[in-house]
Amino acid sequence: MPDEPNQDPTKTAAPPAAAAKPAAAGAADRRKAAAEERRRKAREEAARIAALEPLSAPHEKGWPWSEGGMTGNRKKKPAILAVTNENCTGCAGSPVCINYCPVDECMYWIPDEDHPPFGRIEVDGQTCIGCKQCISKGPDGTFLDGCPWDAIDMVSVTEVEAKLGVKYEF
């Protein structure tokens, strides 16, 4: 029976504010514990990456996650080549450009000696076919799959050869 004569017996009284505080505190504790767990996992992953065997030479092609598929000689000399610019961050160890590249070992990892386990991606101009699958710039300013940092430019082969002082044999 309700305490007051005009009170509806089907309605229940709201819990006291003191009872709501422990539930809120419990939720906050769960969020804090989840955040700590995420930080712990991130530290473990960083330690695992740092423990990987470093590349023996600065330009060694040993990127372990390369999934390119093309091998063999090109049919013709490409008009343009992919060149990474200063925006390249290596995508913190998971570069998408390598997965989009159809050529085996065209793109490779160069570690950052000052900030391990970070680094950047370089493109081998001798194997690049200029397909533009690694870039994110599409026609009329559209954004496509590829480098999320806009760190790959397509440059004419003659400009790349002149800047590097090499002559690629295609």
Query: Which helix (H) or strand (E) is 155 found in, with range?
Result: strand 152-156
pLDDT in tens, the chain (170 residues): 555 556 555 555 555 555 555 666 677 788 888 888 888 887 777 667 666 654 443 333 444 434 444 455 566 788 999 999 988 888 877 888 888 888 888 998 888 888 877 889 999 888 899 999 998 877 777 777 888 888 999 999 999 888 888 887 76
Contacts of 76 (CB under 8 A, 6+ apart): 170
Range of the domain at 35: 15-51
Same domain, 153 and 110: yes
What's residue 65's pLDDT?
39
In terms of phi and psi (left: phi > 0; alpha: psi -120 to 50; beta: otherwise), the region of 165 is left
Same domain, 46 and 87: no
Residue 62 lies in a domain: no
Q: What is the CATH number of the domain that holds 125?
A: 3.30.70
Name the CA radius of gyration of the chain, rounded. 28
Residue 60 lies in a domain: no
Angle in degrees, CA 163, 118, 122, rounded to 5 = 25
Residue 160 lies in a domain: yes
